[in-house]
Amino acid sequence: MCLNGWGGKLYSDLLPYVADAAPDVLCLQEVVHSPASDKDWLTYRDGDHVLAQRANFFRDVCNALPNHVATFCPAAQGVLWDDDVSVPSYWGLATFVHKSFPIIGQIQGFVHKEYSPDGYGDHPRSRSAHGVRVYDHQTGQPVSVTHMHGLRDLNGKMDTPDRAAQAHRLLCLSRQVSEAGDLSVLCGDFNVEPDSETLSILTNAGMVELVNDRGFETTRNSHYKKPGKFADYMLINRKNAVRDFQVIRDPEVSDHCPLVLEL
Protein backbone atom coordinates (compact mmCIF):
# COMPACT_ATOMS: atom_id res chain seq x y z
CA MET A 1 0.00 0.00 0.00
CA CYS A 2 1.18 3.49 -0.90
CA LEU A 3 -0.50 6.54 0.61
CA ASN A 4 0.08 10.22 1.23
CA GLY A 5 -1.26 10.53 4.78
CA TRP A 6 -2.05 14.28 4.54
CA GLY A 7 -0.25 14.90 7.82
CA GLY A 8 -2.81 12.77 9.66
CA LYS A 9 -5.65 15.23 9.05
CA LEU A 10 -8.15 12.35 8.73
CA TYR A 11 -6.37 10.16 11.28
CA SER A 12 -9.66 8.94 12.84
CA ASP A 13 -10.50 7.31 9.49
CA LEU A 14 -6.98 6.46 8.40
CA LEU A 15 -5.84 4.56 11.48
CA PRO A 16 -8.63 1.97 11.57
CA TYR A 17 -8.32 1.56 7.79
CA VAL A 18 -4.62 0.71 7.84
CA ALA A 19 -5.05 -1.42 10.98
CA ASP A 20 -7.73 -3.47 9.27
CA ALA A 21 -5.88 -3.70 5.96
CA ALA A 22 -2.55 -4.44 7.68
CA PRO A 23 -0.58 -4.32 4.41
CA ASP A 24 2.63 -6.30 4.24
CA VAL A 25 4.40 -3.06 3.27
CA LEU A 26 2.97 0.42 3.84
CA CYS A 27 4.71 3.33 2.13
CA LEU A 28 3.41 6.48 3.82
CA GLN A 29 4.25 10.05 2.80
CA GLU A 30 3.63 13.36 4.54
CA VAL A 31 4.34 12.05 8.01
CA VAL A 32 4.73 14.34 11.04
CA HIS A 33 6.93 13.25 13.97
CA SER A 34 7.17 15.55 17.00
CA PRO A 35 8.87 13.59 19.82
CA ALA A 36 9.39 16.80 21.81
CA SER A 37 5.63 17.13 22.33
CA ASP A 38 2.92 14.88 23.72
CA LYS A 39 0.17 16.98 22.11
CA ASP A 40 -2.20 15.34 19.64
CA TRP A 41 -2.39 18.43 17.41
CA LEU A 42 -0.06 21.30 16.60
CA THR A 43 -0.30 24.08 13.99
CA TYR A 44 1.79 24.60 10.87
CA ARG A 45 2.21 28.24 9.82
CA ASP A 46 3.70 29.46 6.56
CA GLY A 47 2.50 33.02 5.94
CA ASP A 48 -1.23 32.77 5.18
CA HIS A 49 -0.96 28.97 4.96
CA VAL A 50 -2.14 27.64 8.36
CA LEU A 51 -2.84 23.93 8.86
CA ALA A 52 -3.60 21.68 11.80
CA GLN A 53 -1.06 18.88 11.98
CA ARG A 54 -1.39 15.58 13.78
CA ALA A 55 1.68 16.15 15.96
CA ASN A 56 2.74 12.53 16.35
CA PHE A 57 1.27 10.95 13.26
CA PHE A 58 4.21 8.55 13.01
CA ARG A 59 3.53 7.30 16.54
CA ASP A 60 -0.19 6.98 15.75
CA VAL A 61 0.46 4.73 12.76
CA CYS A 62 3.03 2.70 14.72
CA ASN A 63 0.35 2.05 17.34
CA ALA A 64 -2.13 1.03 14.63
CA LEU A 65 0.39 -1.44 13.16
CA PRO A 66 2.02 -3.10 16.20
CA ASN A 67 3.19 -6.08 14.14
CA HIS A 68 5.19 -3.96 11.70
CA VAL A 69 8.77 -2.71 11.73
CA ALA A 70 8.59 1.07 11.28
CA THR A 71 11.21 3.39 9.78
CA PHE A 72 10.81 7.17 9.76
CA CYS A 73 12.83 9.14 7.19
CA PRO A 74 12.91 12.89 7.89
CA ALA A 75 13.33 15.43 5.12
CA ALA A 76 13.47 18.41 7.46
CA GLN A 77 13.12 19.61 11.02
CA GLY A 78 10.96 22.69 11.25
CA VAL A 79 8.64 24.30 13.76
CA LEU A 80 5.01 23.66 14.60
CA TRP A 81 3.09 25.78 17.06
CA ASP A 82 1.26 25.08 20.30
CA ASP A 83 -0.56 28.41 20.56
CA ASP A 84 2.41 30.79 20.81
CA VAL A 85 4.97 28.14 21.78
CA SER A 86 7.18 26.76 18.99
CA VAL A 87 7.76 23.00 18.94
CA PRO A 88 10.51 21.34 16.87
CA SER A 89 8.95 18.81 14.53
CA TYR A 90 10.21 16.46 11.84
CA TRP A 91 8.49 16.07 8.48
CA GLY A 92 9.11 13.25 6.04
CA LEU A 93 7.96 9.77 5.09
CA ALA A 94 7.81 6.36 6.72
CA THR A 95 7.83 2.71 5.76
CA PHE A 96 6.12 -0.09 7.69
CA VAL A 97 7.01 -3.74 7.00
CA HIS A 98 5.15 -6.66 8.58
CA LYS A 99 7.42 -8.61 10.91
CA SER A 100 6.78 -11.82 8.96
CA PHE A 101 8.87 -10.40 6.09
CA PRO A 102 12.59 -10.12 6.91
CA ILE A 103 14.17 -6.87 5.74
CA ILE A 104 17.36 -7.98 3.98
CA GLY A 105 18.37 -4.56 2.66
CA GLN A 106 17.35 -0.95 2.85
CA ILE A 107 18.41 2.47 1.66
CA GLN A 108 17.54 6.00 2.69
CA GLY A 109 18.42 9.12 0.77
CA PHE A 110 17.24 12.31 -0.87
CA VAL A 111 15.73 12.85 -4.30
CA HIS A 112 15.74 16.64 -3.97
CA LYS A 113 18.17 18.76 -1.95
CA GLU A 114 19.49 17.43 1.38
CA TYR A 115 18.25 17.20 4.96
CA SER A 116 17.13 20.60 6.23
CA PRO A 117 17.96 20.84 9.96
CA ASP A 118 16.94 24.46 10.58
CA GLY A 119 13.48 24.81 9.11
CA TYR A 120 11.41 23.37 6.30
CA GLY A 121 13.23 25.60 3.81
CA ASP A 122 12.25 27.39 0.63
CA HIS A 123 10.07 25.78 -2.03
CA PRO A 124 10.67 23.37 -3.60
CA ARG A 125 11.69 21.80 -0.30
CA SER A 126 13.89 18.84 0.54
CA ARG A 127 12.40 15.45 -0.34
CA SER A 128 13.49 12.09 1.02
CA ALA A 129 13.08 8.54 -0.23
CA HIS A 130 13.31 5.11 1.36
CA GLY A 131 13.69 1.64 -0.07
CA VAL A 132 13.45 -1.78 1.52
CA ARG A 133 14.37 -5.21 0.18
CA VAL A 134 12.32 -7.93 1.83
CA TYR A 135 12.29 -11.70 1.39
CA ASP A 136 9.00 -13.39 0.59
CA HIS A 137 9.32 -16.96 1.84
CA GLN A 138 6.01 -17.92 0.27
CA THR A 139 7.29 -17.25 -3.25
CA GLY A 140 10.96 -17.77 -2.45
CA GLN A 141 12.10 -14.43 -3.84
CA PRO A 142 13.21 -10.96 -2.73
CA VAL A 143 11.06 -7.92 -3.45
CA SER A 144 12.34 -4.35 -3.33
CA VAL A 145 9.99 -1.42 -2.68
CA THR A 146 11.19 2.18 -2.91
CA HIS A 147 9.04 5.27 -2.41
CA MET A 148 9.37 9.04 -2.42
CA HIS A 149 7.32 12.17 -1.93
CA GLY A 150 8.01 14.23 -5.04
CA LEU A 151 8.86 17.89 -4.73
CA ARG A 152 6.11 20.49 -4.70
CA ASP A 153 6.67 23.38 -7.09
CA LEU A 154 4.49 26.40 -6.34
CA ASN A 155 4.12 26.98 -10.08
CA GLY A 156 2.44 23.61 -10.63
CA LYS A 157 3.09 20.01 -11.66
CA MET A 158 4.87 20.74 -14.92
CA ASP A 159 8.15 19.15 -15.99
CA THR A 160 11.27 20.81 -14.59
CA PRO A 161 14.98 19.91 -14.47
CA ASP A 162 14.63 19.32 -10.72
CA ARG A 163 11.84 16.80 -11.32
CA ALA A 164 13.86 14.99 -13.98
CA ALA A 165 16.84 14.80 -11.63
CA GLN A 166 14.52 13.57 -8.87
CA ALA A 167 13.30 10.68 -11.07
CA HIS A 168 16.88 9.61 -11.83
CA ARG A 169 17.76 9.73 -8.12
CA LEU A 170 14.75 7.58 -7.26
CA LEU A 171 15.84 5.03 -9.86
CA CYS A 172 19.38 5.09 -8.49
CA LEU A 173 18.19 4.42 -4.95
CA SER A 174 15.97 1.57 -6.14
CA ARG A 175 18.85 -0.01 -8.04
CA GLN A 176 21.13 0.28 -5.02
CA VAL A 177 18.71 -1.61 -2.77
CA SER A 178 17.86 -4.23 -5.40
CA GLU A 179 19.76 -7.17 -6.84
CA ALA A 180 19.61 -8.57 -10.36
CA GLY A 181 16.39 -10.55 -10.82
CA ASP A 182 14.51 -8.85 -7.97
CA LEU A 183 10.88 -7.95 -8.33
CA SER A 184 11.04 -4.17 -7.92
CA VAL A 185 8.36 -1.61 -7.09
CA LEU A 186 8.53 2.19 -7.16
CA CYS A 187 5.73 4.30 -5.71
CA GLY A 188 4.81 7.52 -4.00
CA ASP A 189 3.16 10.88 -4.31
CA PHE A 190 5.19 12.11 -7.28
CA ASN A 191 3.33 15.44 -7.66
CA VAL A 192 3.31 15.15 -11.47
CA GLU A 193 0.78 14.57 -14.26
CA PRO A 194 0.31 11.21 -16.05
CA ASP A 195 2.12 12.44 -19.19
CA SER A 196 5.10 13.81 -17.22
CA GLU A 197 8.78 13.46 -18.01
CA THR A 198 9.16 11.82 -14.59
CA LEU A 199 7.03 8.85 -15.60
CA SER A 200 8.72 8.67 -19.01
CA ILE A 201 12.11 8.38 -17.33
CA LEU A 202 10.88 5.58 -15.09
CA THR A 203 9.05 3.66 -17.81
CA ASN A 204 12.01 4.00 -20.19
CA ALA A 205 14.03 2.28 -17.48
CA GLY A 206 11.77 -0.77 -17.80
CA MET A 207 9.06 -0.02 -15.24
CA VAL A 208 5.31 -0.31 -15.92
CA GLU A 209 3.16 2.42 -14.34
CA LEU A 210 -0.06 0.83 -13.08
CA VAL A 211 -2.37 3.84 -12.56
CA ASN A 212 -2.15 4.71 -16.26
CA ASP A 213 -1.95 1.10 -17.40
CA ARG A 214 -5.15 0.15 -15.59
CA GLY A 215 -7.06 3.24 -16.75
CA PHE A 216 -7.74 4.86 -13.37
CA GLU A 217 -9.07 8.38 -13.83
CA THR A 218 -7.76 9.93 -10.61
CA THR A 219 -5.75 9.24 -7.48
CA ARG A 220 -7.45 12.03 -5.52
CA ASN A 221 -10.86 12.14 -3.81
CA SER A 222 -13.57 14.58 -2.70
CA HIS A 223 -11.26 16.23 -0.15
CA TYR A 224 -9.04 17.55 -2.94
CA LYS A 225 -10.58 20.71 -4.40
CA LYS A 226 -7.85 21.88 -6.79
CA PRO A 227 -7.58 21.07 -10.50
CA GLY A 228 -5.38 18.15 -11.49
CA LYS A 229 -6.60 14.79 -10.24
CA PHE A 230 -3.34 12.83 -10.29
CA ALA A 231 -0.38 12.75 -7.94
CA ASP A 232 0.25 9.14 -6.86
CA TYR A 233 1.78 6.36 -8.91
CA MET A 234 2.89 2.74 -8.60
CA LEU A 235 5.40 1.12 -10.95
CA ILE A 236 6.68 -2.44 -11.24
CA ASN A 237 9.39 -4.05 -13.33
CA ARG A 238 7.42 -7.24 -14.07
CA LYS A 239 3.80 -6.67 -15.04
CA ASN A 240 3.04 -10.41 -15.01
CA ALA A 241 3.71 -10.45 -11.25
CA VAL A 242 0.66 -8.25 -10.58
CA ARG A 243 -2.24 -10.23 -9.14
CA ASP A 244 -4.34 -7.12 -8.50
CA PHE A 245 -3.96 -3.34 -8.35
CA GLN A 246 -6.53 -0.90 -6.98
CA VAL A 247 -6.93 2.81 -6.36
CA ILE A 248 -9.09 2.84 -3.24
CA ARG A 249 -11.93 5.37 -3.40
CA ASP A 250 -13.75 4.29 -0.24
CA PRO A 251 -13.05 4.90 2.57
CA GLU A 252 -11.55 8.35 2.17
CA VAL A 253 -8.63 8.45 4.62
CA SER A 254 -6.70 11.41 3.15
CA ASP A 255 -7.07 13.77 0.20
CA HIS A 256 -5.14 11.07 -1.69
CA CYS A 257 -6.42 7.57 -2.50
CA PRO A 258 -4.45 4.58 -1.23
CA LEU A 259 -2.80 2.57 -4.00
CA VAL A 260 -2.87 -1.15 -3.24
CA LEU A 261 -0.77 -3.67 -5.16
CA GLU A 262 -1.13 -7.42 -4.66
CA LEU A 263 1.65 -9.61 -6.02
DSSP string, 197-224: HHHHHHHHTT-EEHHHHTT---SB-TT-
**Mean per-residue pLDDT for 188-215?**
98
- What pLDDT sits at residue 48? 84
**Mean per-residue pLDDT for 130-142?**
96
List phi, psi (to 5°) of 92: 180, -140
- The DSSP element (H or E) to which 173 belongs, if any, is helix 161-177
CB distance 249 to 260 below 8 Å: no
Calculate the alpha carbon distances from 189 to 25, 55, 80, 104, 155 in Å. 16, 21, 23, 25, 17
Answer yes or no: pTM beyond 0.85: yes
State what percent of residues in the chain have pLDDT above 70.
100
- pLDDT tens-digit series, residues 204-261: 999 999 999 999 999 999 999 888 899 999 999 999 999 999 999 999 999 999 999 9
CATH number where 73 lies = 3.60.10.10
**Would you call 178 helix, strand, or coil by DSSP?**
coil
User: 140 pLDDT exceeds 90?
Assistant: yes
CB distance 126 to 113 below 8 Å: yes
- What pLDDT sits at residue 243? 98
pLDDT band at 25 (very low <50, low <70, confident <90, very high): very high
- What pLDDT sits at residue 228? 81
Give how many domains the chain has, as a whole number. Answer: 1
User: 38 pLDDT exceeds 90?
Assistant: yes
- pLDDT tens-digit series, residues 42-91: 999 988 888 889 999 999 999 999 999 999 999 999 999 999 999 999 99
Residue 31 structural domain: 2-262
pLDDT band at 112 (very low <50, low <70, confident <90, very high): very high
